[in-house]
């Protein structure tokens, strides 16, 4: 068994017992990167020397007994929209091709405190806008199950790196499904926490009211450990939640007896691939067998999630991305005449097509005369979606459904029809609008061998229920899925 087959928690045990070192683990990772990176392109930045140096320092601290946590010495990939002090953080955009942050995100500081070792920065859709990782200025990431397909997005680099063992675990960010959907497409575990669980300080904002950092891992236990390491109250983030139960790993128990699980009929209608439907309903059956109470219900409001999301997210994005203007950092156009022309050329040349599309859409919905009709209406819709979930969680502990209507599309297929791509987010988006936690767990493969993900959705702060259910399902099915 190769060291690369270990989960993050298993690896850390080995390092602490002296069976291997953090440096050896990092060397193994870079050996794998050397083999796979050209074909799959998971990373934007992966500096071997720097990573080995960091691993060496952590190894010393482990040996000195300073680091004894469950993730000490484990190599980790971090999505490129999460600031890392002194290391290029580009958001996969030409606009930030030279941006080296003077500070690290709170989540990265938490990772360092836990003794995890940064490998490099994972590829993504430009500014996290996209569902395929094809909008990256640095080129697309490929699906580990079939390089002719996309890995999903926007955290496609993180998900593919986990699936390819180009890392032991990874951080992604999820604004409308950007952790769960690529996890589903790549056959790994992806957890989007409750809004406010992980500090957003240092996460380069796409849509501030929806963004959350979360783990992408090989299994549910790693996800629980990684979330526990990065989740904290942070006074630098006003939306960070202070009073919350963050003892996630205590939920790693194999027991769903009596758990009430709702399966929304609205998630299984038109547009859902037969293979995906079958796999997800089979998973529901597993829960029933394990003693959970599983029943169908009507969630409602499902068709309004995509338009509400693309109004709110793009509105916030249009404002969040205003700071990229060529003045203070990042790309600046070569030739220009005067300030206005500099802004115009810098932004025209620095942003890709999908980012520009969303900035235009967002600027439009906030414009004088349209604000009430679009933006305010979307906020009211968001409140109604939250209400629909509140009613569901009065009856159920969890909601079970697919992550995405299909498995990973072919490269190039999605970008040609953005509207179709947006509709692909239908099952994940409502979770962000309502601020809920959601997890994607592998639940089989389609007829072409592409992974399928099962989504479990919990009420706010119900991460532990999610983890317990996902852990139980994983234990029940690992053998047969392999």
333 is a contact residue toward other proteins (CB under 8 A): no
Q: Catalytic residue at 387?
A: no
Rounded-to-integer distance, Cα 259 and Cα 287, Å: 9
The single residue among 343, 393, 461, 471 that binds other proteins, judged by CB under 8 A, is 343
Q: Which residues contact 297 (CB under 8 A, 6 or more apart)?
A: 262, 263, 264, 265, 392, 395, 396
Per residue, the 3-state secondary structure of 344-410, as one string, reads HHHHHHHCCHHHHHHHHHHHHHHCCCCHHHHHHHHHHHHHHHHHHHHHHHHHCCEEEEECCCCCCCE
Q: How many residues bind other proteins (CB under 8 A)?
A: 43
Nearer to other proteins, 49 or 372 (CB): 372
> Which residue bears the tokens 């999610």?
466
318 is a contact residue toward other proteins (CB under 8 A): yes
Nearer to other proteins, 250 or 367 (CB): 367
96 is a contact residue toward other proteins (CB under 8 A): yes
Of residues 61-90, those binding other proteins (CB under 8 A): 82-83, 89
DSSP character at residue 93: -
Residue 142 CA: distances (Å) to CA of 37, 107, 153: 10, 27, 11
323 is a contact residue toward other proteins (CB under 8 A): yes
In angstroms, what is the minimal distance from the CB of 457 to other proteins?
Answer: 22
Of residues 366-405, those binding other proteins (CB under 8 A): 366-368, 371, 375
Rounded-to-integer distance, Cα 432 and Cα 173, Å: 11
> Which residue bears the tokens 């697919």?
402
Candidates 47-55, 179-187, 299-307, 310-318: pick the segment binding other proteins (CB under 8 A).
Answer: 310-318
Candidates 20-28, 99-107, 109-117, 431-439: pick the segment binding other proteins (CB under 8 A).
Answer: 99-107
Please identify which of the residues 36, 79, 218, 464 carries the catalytic annotation.
Answer: 79
In angstroms, what is the minimal distance from the CB of 235 to other proteins?
Answer: 7
Rounded-to-integer distance, Cα 69 and Cα 229, Å: 9
Q: Catalytic residue at 154?
A: yes
Nearer to other proteins, 175 or 184 (CB): 175
The single residue among 39, 68, 253, 339 that binds other proteins, judged by CB under 8 A, is 339
443 is a contact residue toward other proteins (CB under 8 A): no
DSSP character at residue 267: G
In angstroms, what is the minimal distance from the CB of 103 to other proteins?
Answer: 6
Nearer to other proteins, 18 or 102 (CB): 102
325 is a contact residue toward other proteins (CB under 8 A): yes
Rounded-to-integer distance, Cα 191 and Cα 438, Å: 6
Residues 238, 227: contact at Cβ < 8 Å? no
Residue 55 DSSP SS3: helix
Nearer to other proteins, 351 or 375 (CB): 375
What residues form DSSP beta bridges with 191? 439
Q: Catalytic residue at 90?
A: no
Q: Is the peptide bond before 154 cis (omega within 30 degrees of 0)?
A: yes
Rounded-to-integer distance, Cα 434 and Cα 437, Å: 9
What are residue 125's phi and psi, to 5 degrees?
A: -70, 145
In angstroms, what is the minimal distance from the CB of 89 to other proteins?
Answer: 7
In angstroms, what is the minimal distance from the CB of 118 to other proteins?
Answer: 16
291 is a contact residue toward other proteins (CB under 8 A): no
In angstroms, what is the minimal distance from the CB of 26 to other proteins?
Answer: 26
HSE-up of 310 (CA within 13 Å, CB side)? 20
In angstroms, what is the minimal distance from the CB of 230 to other proteins?
Answer: 15
Of residues 178-217, those binding other proteins (CB under 8 A): 200-205, 207-209
Return the biggest CA–CA distance within the chain.
Answer: 70
368 token code pair? 């004088």
Please identify which of the residues 12, 90, 104, 154 carries the catalytic annotation.
Answer: 154
In angstroms, what is the minimal distance from the CB of 192 to other proteins?
Answer: 17
In angstroms, what is the minimal distance from the CB of 345 to other proteins?
Answer: 13
Nearer to other proteins, 233 or 268 (CB): 233
Of residues 231-250, those binding other proteins (CB under 8 A): 235-239
Listing from the earlier edge strand, what are the strands of the sheet with 117-122? 43-45, 117-122, 75-79, 169-174, 212-217, 189-192, 438-445, 451-458, 398-402, 260-264, 293-297
Rounded-to-integer distance, Cα 464 and Cα 212, Å: 17
Binding mask 344-363 for other proteins (x = CB under 8 A): -------------------x
Residues 231, 248: contact at Cβ < 8 Å? yes
Active site members: 79, 154, 178
User: Which residues make up the interface to other proteins (CB under 8 A)?
Assistant: 82-83, 89, 91, 96, 99, 101-103, 105, 200-205, 207-209, 235-239, 315-316, 318-319, 322-325, 327-329, 339, 343, 363, 366-368, 371, 375
């Amino acid at each position: 068994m190769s060291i690369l087959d270990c989960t993050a928690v298993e690896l850390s045990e080995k390092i602490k017992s002296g069976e291997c070192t953090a440096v050896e683990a990092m060397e193994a990772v870079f050996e794998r990167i050397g083999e796979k990176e050209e074909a799959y392109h998971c990373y934007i930045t992966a500096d071997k020397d720097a990573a080995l140096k960091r691993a060496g320092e952590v190894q010393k601290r482990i040996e000195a007994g300073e680091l004894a946590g469950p993730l000490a010495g484990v190599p980790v990939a971090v999505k490129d929209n999460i600031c890392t002090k002194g290391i290029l953080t580009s958001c996969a955009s030409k606009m930030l091709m030279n941006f080296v942050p003077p500070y690290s995100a709170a989540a990265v500081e938490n990772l360092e405190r836990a003794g995890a070792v940064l490998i490099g920065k994972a590829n993504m859709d430009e500014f996290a806008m996209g569902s395929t990782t094809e909008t990256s200025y640095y080129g697309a990431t490929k699906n580990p199950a079939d390089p002719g397909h996309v890995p999903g997005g926007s955290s496609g680099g993180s998900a593919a790196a986990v699936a390819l063992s180009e890392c032991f675990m990874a951080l992604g960010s999820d604004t409308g499904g950007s952790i769960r959907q690529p996890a589903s497409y790549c056959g790994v575990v992806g957890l989007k926490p409750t809004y406010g669980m992980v500090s957003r300080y240092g996460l380069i904002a796409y849509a501030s009211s929806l963004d959350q950092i979360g783990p992408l891992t090989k299994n549910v236990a790693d996800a629980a450990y990684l979330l526990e390491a990065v989740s904290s109250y942070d006074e630098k983030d006003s939306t960070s939640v202070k009073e919350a139960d963050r003892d996630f790993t205590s939920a790693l128990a194999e027991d769903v007896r009596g758990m009430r699980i709702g399966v929304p009929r609205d998630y299984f209608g038109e547009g859902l691939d037969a293979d995906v439907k079958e796999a997800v309903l089979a998973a529901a059956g597993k829960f029933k067998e394990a003693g959970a109470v599983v029943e169908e219900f009507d969630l409602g409001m499902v068709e309004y999630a995509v338009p509400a999301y693309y109004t709110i997210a793009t509105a916030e994005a249009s404002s969040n991305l205003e700071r990229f203007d060529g003045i203070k950092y990042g790309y600046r156009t070569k030739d220009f005449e005067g300030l206005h022309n500099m802004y115009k050329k810098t932004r025209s040349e620095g942003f890709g097509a999908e980012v520009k599309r969303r900035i235009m859409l967002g600027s439009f919905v906030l414009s004088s005369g349209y604000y009430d009709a679009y933006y305010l209406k979307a906020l009211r819709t968001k409140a109604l979606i939250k209400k629909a979930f509140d009613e569901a969680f009065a009856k159920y502990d969890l909601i079970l459904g697919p992550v995405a209507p299909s498995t990973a599309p072919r490269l190039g297929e999605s970008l040609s029809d953005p509207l179709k791509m947006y509709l692909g987010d239908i099952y994940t988006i409502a979770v962000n609008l309502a601020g809920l936690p959601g997890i994607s767990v592998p639940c089989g493969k389609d007829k072409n061998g592409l992974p399928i993900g099962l989504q479990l959705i919990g009420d706010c702060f119900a991460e532990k229920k999610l983890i317990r259910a996902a852990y139980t399902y994983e234990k029940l099915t690992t053998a047969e899925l392999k």
